[in-house]
Amino acid sequence: MDNVMLARMIFGTSIAFHIIFATLGVGITLMILVAEIMRIIRKDEDYGTLAKRWTKGVAILLGVAIPSGTIVAVMLSLLWPGFMEIVGQVIALPFQVEIFAFFLEALFLSIYIYAADRLSPTMRIVSVFFVALGATASAVLITNAHAWMNTPRGFDLVNGQVANVNPLAAVNNPSFYVTSLHVVGSAYMTGAFVLASVAAYKLFRGGLTEREVTYHRKGLTLSLAIGLIMSVYTMNNGHDTAIMLHEHIPVKLAAAEGLFETQANAPLAIMGTPDPEAGRVVGGIEIPGMLSWLATGSTDGVVRGLYDYPQDEWPPLFVHTLFNVMVGIGSALFGLAVIFWALWFFRRKTNKPYPKWLLAGLVASGPLAMIGIETGWIFSCTGRQPWTIYGIQRTSEAATNSGNLGMLFFLFVSLYVVLLVLTGLVMHYYFNRNPVSKELQIMS
Amino acid sequence: MQDVYIAIIILWAFLFMYAIAGSIDFGAGFWAMYYRKRTDTKAASIANRYLSPSWEVTNVFLVLLVVALVSFFPGAAATLGTLMIVPFCLVLFLLTIRSAFMVYSYSVQKYTNMLVIISGITGLLIPALLISILPAAIGGFVEVVGDRQYVLIDQLFTSPTFYTHLGFGLSTELFLSALLLSDYAKEAGSEETYHVYRRNAIILGPITLSFAVGAILTLIPEAFWMFENMANEWLLFTLSLLAFSIGYSALWWPTKKFGVGRPRVAVLLIALQFGLASFAYGSAHMPYFLYPDVTIYDAFTNEVMFHLLLIGYGIGMAILIPVFIWFWRLFMKDKRYLKQESTH
Ligand code: HDD
Ligand code: HEM
Ligand code: HEM
């Protein structure tokens, strides 16, 4: 296998591993903040207990997010030296500012966890607020660099040398706002659905006391309130992201939709496989005119197809599936949240338990959201291929020419597998040892 | 002063901060392992208590260092990255295991023993790997074939200067951490533990100094250019020696609490000594990042970016320093944290 392929595999796996923990770090800290605020508004200690237990979980997750983030940050220089030479001269600012976001988060997290018993309630909220702010800021800042890779601005490449640098124009690139809003929205959404999953699982399994049921119901409704808001937001903003692709990176949108011919009245293809010979998606469902309407606001709008580009500039065509999975999950989760709230509304006078099928769906929602994050990111990065910096630097030009990559791939993949298993075990063991029933008893 | 020198000085300052914070952090891990079976002193639990809230912050310093290197000197990052991919990846690997276990054991007591051993062993291996970059960067160990560069691992491993650098790195780490922990133990009011760490510091001081001298002397055959440059920095090296002597002697200064030794003074002066010496070493290395191919001038970023970064660091530091001070007070000064009975 060649070096570039190995470098892509190492980097892709590493970042796909980091994103699991990082996204939850962003999403769940928001939920902790919301719970701490609810506790004050409702004067209900159950929300304090929720916040405390979620913090426990987040502490474990961030303990893996931090070193895995360190890995990807250093690997960026190790595996993509050609890329980093340009980054260092053009888009170093978000990386630099991100450091301060990390400091903010690490400092306040240590304070919130190790000094919780010495803080006043206000200082606790202030500390979680800064943890959440730091996490969200890290997501926005790193997405800034990612958005710049998609829509690079702020420099020229003259004979392979960087010239006319304008770092602020680079930061202010056209896809930044819409992309970072999508990333943050989807992270909040994922945090909420993962916590909803946990509560739904407890209710689904049953065997709880009255007191525990009340507690888990509070967790479920709070998570699904945020979950509903964020899924509406993410879908809406995902639409804007697709319009951004239409305007700036049409080849990526064409690959996402499996559109070969440039045309007005372009159809939206759902699932199926794009077939370059046939020039269309085979085995999927086509909705005529829908893609034109989504991308341009009118069925007459012209959407560019893959045939407009030389074939060596096409992304791999399987990104169509990744894109469909992300959008499908977004719609499904929105549907679940709507059903839940409709049921909640009609049954608010009674105290009937939630139906099993709904709970089962909600148990699946957390893992589904995570799959949405993974497929969305892999779509975005792989859909940029063969470019690392779109239109400017090819992935093969960015990659290292060092040997030994095969061994490193093996080393890191085994590390990730072990850490995934261990983190799961630690969570399981900790929460089994300290069941919520104990905490609820102490309180009453 | 030229911009490129401002940049390299900032980079040195970050390196210095990470070297100190990292030494203490990794060293504390080693001491916690070394004393884990001793029930007659609190040496292990004091080291652990220091470690718990501090490792995350230390880790950010590492990221800070890497980002500063890439953004100030993108050219150097590319070459260093290509050459050092294996040692860096091993460091990352070990660091990840260490950090993960740090959190696991905080949540599940069952893992504590394993953590202590893992953080003790990685506490020695990580600094050793990091320090091995220094002798590799003085040149003579890199071969260029076509457009690929290789580190001559076998030649590196058989050169005496590699081992003196290694010895210097490890002894400094243990020396600094023993000093800081003696101060921390004093702050926590644990006399026993204070004496344990004070004794360790007394033993390690001269060892560190000998390795430092050894590292310089073994450079002569490998990199005479650097040795010559070092001779020009004699003033800094003399000051550094002076700081060492006074700092070391502070371990015997009389005090009211526990009778003998002023560890706070010793920590500060030894850190100063380390700063002076590493600054002198770095100056002697100039203008090369990697002798003889990569100089700081070739690798430097553009002026526009440099000035924006400078503003960024200014603002960031101004916001963060108050938080650092609060953090310090909560964990280094607050008696309720220092004296708690059970360890987390
Ligand atoms: C829970 C996660 C999740 C969900 C439900 C959605 N997305 Fe998404 N999407 C992401 C998580 C995500 C992401 C992981 O956060 C990505 C990857 C890169 C990025 O900017 O955000 C992303 C990227 C991304 C891109 C590519 C941006 C680029 O390559 O620059 C588009 C066009 C969309 N999304 C569109 C949508 C639409 C129309 C959705 C409608 C339901 C949707 N997303 C739901
Ligand atoms: C959009 C995707 C990403 C999100 C949402 C995200 C978020 C996070 C979060 C929440 C943390 C924990 C921070 C802390 O507690 O200090 C973290 C750590 C980290 N991330 Fe990511 N990250 C993302 C992608 C990346 C990428 C691509 C890189 C590399 C360039 C990166 C580099 C890092 C580093 C270096 C750390 C460790 C910081 C420390 O030492 O505290 N992240 N990330
Ligand atoms: C956090 C979620 C992310 C995931 C899961 C992810 C996934 C991937 C994958 C799978 C690849 C390999 C692409 C291929 O070869 O087909 C890749 C490449 C890459 N990604 Fe991302 N990515 C993420 C975020 C980011 C961010 C935020 C940045 C910006 C700093 C980034 C920078 C890169 C670079 C530099 C490459 C290598 C060059 C290239 O293949 O174009 N990634 N990523």
Tell me the pLDDT tens digit for each residue of B272-299.
Answer: 888 888 888 888 777 777 777 777 777 7
Q: What is the pLDDT of residue B39?
A: 66
Distance between Cα B69 and ligand 3 center (Å): 21
C-alpha angle A78-A80-A86 in degrees, rounded to nearest 5:
115
B2 Cβ contact list (under 8 Å, min separation 6): none
**For all residues of chain A together, what is the average pLDDT?**
88
Instruction: Read off the tokens for A264.
Output: 């007005």
Identify the three-state secondary structure at position B322. helix
In a shared domain, residues A254 and A371:
yes
What's the rounded mean pLDDT across residues B228-250?
81
What's the rounded mean pLDDT across residues B201-215?
86
Model confidence band, residue A149 (pLDDT cutoffs 50, 70, 90): very high
Q: Is the pLDDT of residue A215 over 80?
A: yes
Q: Name the pTM for this structure.
A: 0.88
In a shared domain, residues A197 and A70:
no
Number of domains into which chain A is organized: 2
Pocket lined around ligand 3, Cβ cut-off 6 Å: A 8, 11-12, 15-16, 19, 80, 83, 142-143, 145-146, 377-378, 381-382, 384-385, 388, 395, 398
For residue B302, what is the nearest residue in chain A, using CA coordinates? A89
CB of B304 within 8 Å of any CB in chain A? yes
CA dist., res. A114 & res. B53, Å (int):
7
Q: Is the pLDDT of residue B48 over 70?
A: no
Pocket lined around ligand 1, Cβ cut-off 6 Å: A 150, 175, 179, 182-183, 186, 189-190, 234-235, 238-239, 241-242, 245, 252, 326-327, 329-331, 369, 372-373, 376-377, 380, 383
| Exposed / middle / buried, residue B72 (Cβ in 10 Å: 0-12, 13-18, 19+) | buried
Asked whether residue B69 is assigned to any structural domain, the reply reads: yes
Residue with tokens 């490890």: B170
Q: How many other CB atoms are there within 10 angstroms of residue B338's CB atom?
A: 18
Asked whether residue A394 is assigned to any structural domain, the reply reads: no
Model confidence band, residue B217 (pLDDT cutoffs 50, 70, 90): confident
Contact A408 B110 (CB under 8 A): no
Q: Is the pLDDT of residue A229 over 50?
A: yes
In a shared domain, residues A56 and A192:
no
Residue B154 amino acid letter: D
CB of B321 within 8 Å of any CB in chain A? no
Quick one: CA torsion of B5, B6, B10, B16, rounded to 10 degrees? 40
Asked whether residue A391 is assigned to any structural domain, the reply reads: no
Chain B environment of A96 (Cβ under 8 Å): 67-68, 71, 309, 312-313, 316
Closest CA to A22 of A126, A146, A201, A111: A146
What's the rounded mean pLDDT across residues A236-256?
90
Query: Which range marks the domain in which residue A139 is found?
Result: 1-175+400-444
Of B91-100, B282-291, B316-325, the range with the lowest mean pLDDT is: B282-291
Residue with tokens 């969305």: A376
User: Which range, A392-406, A409-423, B55-69, is most confident?
Assistant: A409-423
Asked whether residue B307 is assigned to any structural domain, the reply reads: no
Residue A286 sits at φ, ψ, to 5 deg, of: -110, 130
Contact B85 A70 (CB under 8 A): no
Model confidence band, residue B342 (pLDDT cutoffs 50, 70, 90): very low
Q: What is the pLDDT of residue B78?
A: 73
Interface probe for B, chosen from A99, A127, A393, A434 (most Cβ of B below 10 Å), is A99
A212 Cβ contact list (under 8 Å, min separation 6): A202, A436, A437, A440
Number of domains into which chain B is organized: 1
Asked whether residue A388 is assigned to any structural domain, the reply reads: no
CA dist., res. A264 & res. A304, Å (int):
9
Q: Which of B71, B83, B100 is opposite residue A63, by nearest beta carbon?
A: B100
Asked whether residue A149 is assigned to any structural domain, the reply reads: yes
Q: Is the pLDDT of residue A137 over 90?
A: yes
What's the rounded mean pLDDT across residues A377-388?
91
| ipTM value for the complex | 0.84
Model confidence band, residue A226 (pLDDT cutoffs 50, 70, 90): very high
Among the bound ligands, name the one nearest to the CA of residue A382.
Answer: 3
Contact B305 A167 (CB under 8 A): yes
Q: Is the pLDDT of residue B84 over 90?
A: no
CA dist., res. A262 & res. A302, Å (int):
7
Query: Which range marks the domain in which residue B133 is found?
Result: 1-301
Asked whether residue B135 is assigned to any structural domain, the reply reads: yes
Q: Is the pLDDT of residue B112 over 90?
A: no
Model confidence band, residue A228 (pLDDT cutoffs 50, 70, 90): very high
Interface probe for A, chosen from B96, B126, B130, B330 (most Cβ of A below 10 Å), is B96
* Percentage with pLDDT > 70 across chain A: 98
In a shared domain, residues A147 and A270:
no
In a shared domain, residues A289 and A157:
no
Asked whether residue B330 is assigned to any structural domain, the reply reads: no
Q: Which residue has the higher pLDDT, B122 or B223?
A: B122
In a shared domain, residues A187 and A227:
yes
Q: What is the pLDDT of residue B343?
A: 42
Q: Is the pLDDT of residue B253 over 70?
A: yes
Nearest residue (by CA) to ligand 1, atom 29, is: A380
In a shared domain, residues A341 and A406:
no
Q: Which of A74, A99, A426 is opposite residue B92, by nearest beta carbon?
A: A74
For residue A64, what is the nearest residue in chain B, using CA coordinates? B100
User: Which range, A124-133, A369-378, A392-401, B301-310, is most confident?
Assistant: A369-378
Asked whether residue B153 is assigned to any structural domain, the reply reads: yes
Residue A120 amino acid letter: S
Q: Which helix (H) or strand (E) holds A274?
A: strand A273-275
Q: What is the pLDDT of residue A338?
A: 95
Nearest residue (by CA) to ligand 2, atom 30, is: A73
What's the rounded mean pLDDT across residues B223-235?
75
Asked whether residue B45 is assigned to any structural domain, the reply reads: yes
Closest CA to B129 of B166, B83, B178: B166
Asked whether residue B331 is assigned to any structural domain, the reply reads: no
Asked whether residue B316 is assigned to any structural domain, the reply reads: no
Q: What is the pLDDT of residue B344?
A: 39
Q: What is the pLDDT of residue A363?
A: 94
B250 Cα to chain A: minimum distance (Å): 32
* Percentage with pLDDT > 90 across chain B: 0
Q: What is the pLDDT of residue A186?
A: 96
Q: Is the pLDDT of residue B101 over 90?
A: no
Model confidence band, residue B149 (pLDDT cutoffs 50, 70, 90): low
Q: Which residue has the higher pLDDT, B159 or A296?
A: A296
* Percentage with pLDDT > 70 across chain B: 83
What's the rounded mean pLDDT across residues A43-48?
86
Model confidence band, residue A105 (pLDDT cutoffs 50, 70, 90): confident
Asked whether residue A16 is assigned to any structural domain, the reply reads: yes
Q: Which of B53, B96, B326 is opposite residue A68, by nearest beta carbon?
A: B96
Contact A426 B108 (CB under 8 A): yes
A130 Cβ contact list (under 8 Å, min separation 6): A104, A105, A108
What's the rounded mean pLDDT across residues B156-169?
81
CA atoms within 13 A on the CB side of A278: 9
